[in-house]
Structure 1
């Protein structure tokens, strides 16, 4: 009985480790895996997960993209970015609307932000004087 309980617990832990869900960024504690700066602002934070379940954290979407482009041998499973309107909340890039440029000033000067809805992005587009981009366009821009 103890052996089956132990096997069950180990399987739960292993499945949760490679779930594909982002791990919360520990602000002012975690460091960017690209530029090595401490991640201090969750609105600009980003994270990627490899196919093997390894997590990498970033203080700017630009750092994540530069990291991904410089490490082409590692297959990635998922990319996440901080929601500009929800402090330290990570969203899958496929579901985001991005703004870049204008008066946006991110930690490593990637100067891009993500929104969960097109309405939010449109509302901030004129406020920030920024260009609306898809994930593919943003990824190609660095």
Structure 2
């Protein structure tokens, strides 16, 4: 009986650990985009979705993540993440990010879309490169029009 109890405890712990809802590091040059299937190489434009069950979908650009969302049940998504333009490879909460669409900053899929952790950084880049700023909600409307 004691052995059965130990196995049940171990099984429960394994189940809790296996449902970890957190971002995963992107292996640049190796991981592929779940939307367009291109290899992810751009360290400032990559993005990621993490579902409530912990499944991770990686993208070579935020625009691929947005396009992928059209064929996915949003109620299953826990995290929307985009790389911070000013800190390559750092994933940030896309819902809190400020986005810049500027023809002077190319992105992998040609949407000229970059994410910034804070509005001040986005405004500074906008003053240098031009373009338009968007919140997450505004960006979704922009891409769905």
Aligned counterpart, 2:59:
58
What's the offset of the Cα at 1:69? 1.0
Q: Specify the alignment match of 2:14 in structure 1.
A: 10
Report the Cα distance in structure 2 between the residues aligned to 1:38 and 1:74, rounded to whole angstroms. Answer: 27
User: Within the alignment, does 1:45 sit opposite 2:49 as a pair?
Assistant: no
Gaps spanning 5+ residues in structure 1: where?
Answer: none
| Cα offset, 1:8, TM superposition | 5.9
Aligned match of 1:69: 70
Instruction: Tell me how far 1:9 sits from its aligned partner.
Output: 4.3
Structure 1 stretch displaced more, 101-110 or 40-49: 101-110
Tell me the residue number matched to 1:82: 83
2:103 counterpart of 1:99: no
Distance 1:99 1:26, change over 3 A: same
Give the TM-score of the pair, scaled to structure 2: 0.85
- Please identify, of 65-74 and 100-109, the stretch whose mean Cα deviation from structure 2 is larger: 65-74
SS at match of 1:124: helix
Match of 1:28 in 2: 29
CA contact (8 A) 1:50 1:78 kept: yes
Larger Rg: 2
Q: Where does structure 1 differ by over 6 angstroms across 4 or more consecutive aligned residues?
A: none
Gaps of 5+ in 2: none
